[in-house]
Chain A
Amino acid sequence: MYTEQVMDHFTNPRNVGEIKDANGVGEVGNMKCGDIMRIYLKVNEDEVIEDIKFRTFGCAAAIATSSKITEMVKGKSISDALKVTNKQVAEELGGLPAPKMHCSNLAADALKKAIENYQANRAKQR
């Protein structure tokens, strides 16, 4: 049902946890559908994602997509990170089962929210 890449990210997720001094946090999903993803960002002066971590409640697809996106955007500029789509994350994992494509494939949305949160925090500081 799941690809090897999904199982790999599910069993050995990358970048799990929180960033205590995160300057951007984004959360998507809800308990009704059973997936909640929270992404923590540490963006530096050059607008590059220096560190990224996640916490996810959900199925293997939800955990694997969260893990995968952290790997995909770590070290990238926020403008490049914003270009990553949910579909790309799924493709990088060798695909997801059809029912999972819309319910558990939300990592790019969580990342976008985290970046927006970072941008809002910055605007306040100025």
Chain B
Amino acid sequence: MRKVYLDHAATTRLNEEVLKEMLPYLTEHFGNPSSIHSYGRKARAAIEEARERVATALGAAAEEIIFTSGATEANNLTIRGIARALREKGNHIITSAVEHHAVYDTCLALQKEGFDVTILPVDEYGMVSVNAVADAITDKTILVSIMLANNEVGTIMPIAEIGKLCRERGIPFHTDAVQAIGNIPVNVDNLNVDLLSLSAHKFYGPKGVGALYLRKGTRLSVYHHGGAQERKLRPGTENVAGIVGLGKAIELAVKDLEPKANRIRALRDKLQEGLLAIEHTKLNGHPEQRLPGNLNVSILYVEGESLILSLDLKGIACSSGSACTSGSLDPSHVLMAMGLDHQTAHGSLRFSLGVDNTEEDIDYVLKVMPDIVARLRSMSPVYQGGSK
């Protein structure tokens, strides 16, 4: 059976070149980077080279990069670290209703601890407005955290403008750039950000490693205690092979970004056109300001998990914002924040394309999809177009 992977927003396949660079650091170069002997120095040198590569990709300085176990840790480090460092200046944090849970839930946790958290609404496309950020800022605001591109619907936020606003007010500005790296240009100066989170496995690197960009002069409190690694902000022996993999993966991700993105966008547009040709379907997310590989559609009168499983039986991998797939009783908070009704949210499907996808992949999905939808709709008590 044909296998078609269209869930690159969840994770990606490790690039062979990346693996090749990582392997020696799992075997012969196994030293602890904190050791001063030759084994340690070899590992240390590899980490510092990776740091240079990440910094170069982001337009940052090497000393502004802190390696973490992934973006979840980078987001927690940011939000908790700033909240604690600037507690005497204020207690107000601004974020959006469509953030990843690593940001959203961390802000809610701080709210329970007594912080004042403003969760900005989004429009029907999942977009945060710059004016809403401006209106929400008070003298007590100590952090603004808005994602660069949404993981479910791919909407690209006006980060540079929000960053400019925060800079003028002297407020640290963080962006979760997990979905953006390798898909759209990400430069910390152009975006006016002070902190930025990323994760290697979203751009063909290994799982379990990520980084936080921390602009020089930005204060952050330590929240894990241990050794002196990563300027004491992220103590613990480094994931050397993972960090090496991150360095190589980001170097490859930003190389030839535009032609890669254009090719993926063309495939995505073809898939979009084909799926929206099925009746009672709807595009979720911004029609233009959207990641090139993202396609989120709602198939009305059917439920997302049923769709995913049916597609999986045909070898196609994608995801959904339905409650059944979120592990909770509620559909995606992103889709609900965009004002979708429950049925439309439960019937959502997210296809996320990557560099290995081909035209044949898209043709195959478009070939099997109509029958899957028709079968599930024929069982649905809410489908009026059925045999009722």
* A positions within 8 Å CB-CB of B: 2, 7, 10-11, 13, 16-18, 27, 31-38, 55-63, 99-100, 103-104
Contacts and interface: CB of A to CB of B under 8 A. Distances in A.
Interface string B317-330: 00000111001010
Given A34-B322, A37-B381, A57-B303, 13 more contacts: A7-B309, A10-B306, A11-B313, A13-B379, A34-B346, A57-B381, A58-B303, A60-B309, A61-B324, A62-B303, A99-B327, A103-B323, A103-B324
B313 A34 contact: no
Contacts of B327: 99
A37 B382 CA distance: 10
A55 B322 contact: no
B301 interface: yes
B interface majority secondary structure: loop
A2 B306 CA distance: 12
A91 B57 CA distance: 54
Interface centre among B309, B331, B380, B381 (most CB of A within 10 A): B381
B324 A34 contact: yes
B324 A10 contact: no
B247 to A, nearest CB: 36
B43 to A, nearest CB: 40
B342 A34 contact: yes
B331 A34 contact: yes
Contacts of A60: 305-306, 309
B388 interface: yes
A22 to B, nearest CB: 13
A39 to B, nearest CB: 10
B229 interface: no
Given A18-B388, A33-B323, A63 B379 contact: yes
Interface in B290-324: 301-303, 305-306, 309, 313, 322-324
Contacts of B303: 34-35, 57-59, 62
A57 B300 CA distance: 11
A99 B305 CA distance: 14
Contact of A31 (B305, B346, B379, B387): B346
A91 B303 CA distance: 24
A99 B313 CA distance: 22
Question: Quick one: which of B323, B327, B341, B378 has the most chain A CB within 10 A?
Answer: B323
Interface string B46-90: 000000000000000000000000000000000000000000000
Contacts of B329: 33, 103
7 A-B pairs closest in CB distance: A55-B381, A59-B305, A59-B324, A34-B346, A38-B381, A31-B342, A57-B380
Interface of B: 301-303, 305-306, 309, 313, 322-324, 327, 329, 331, 341-343, 346, 378-382, 387-388
B289 to A, nearest CB: 29
Contacts of A99: 327
Given A18-B388, A32-B342, A63-B306, A55 B313 contact: no
Contacts of B379: 13, 16, 55-57, 63
Nearest to B331: A34
B279 to A, nearest CB: 17
Given A10-B306, A34-B331, A104 B324 contact: yes
Contacts of B380: 55-57
Contacts of A2: 309
Contacts of A103: 323-324, 329
B347 to A, nearest CB: 9
Contacts of A16: 378-379
B113 to A, nearest CB: 29
B381 A36 contact: yes
B75 to A, nearest CB: 26
A53 to B, nearest CB: 10
A64 to B, nearest CB: 10
Contact of B302 (A13, A57, A61, A104): A57
B387 A18 contact: yes
16 contacts: A2-B309, A10-B309, A11-B313, A16-B378, A31-B342, A31-B343, A32-B342, A34-B324, A34-B346, A57-B379, A59-B305, A61-B324, A63-B379, A103-B323, A103-B324, A103-B329
Contacts of B301: 57
A34 B387 contact: no
A18 B27 CA distance: 64
Contacts of A38: 381
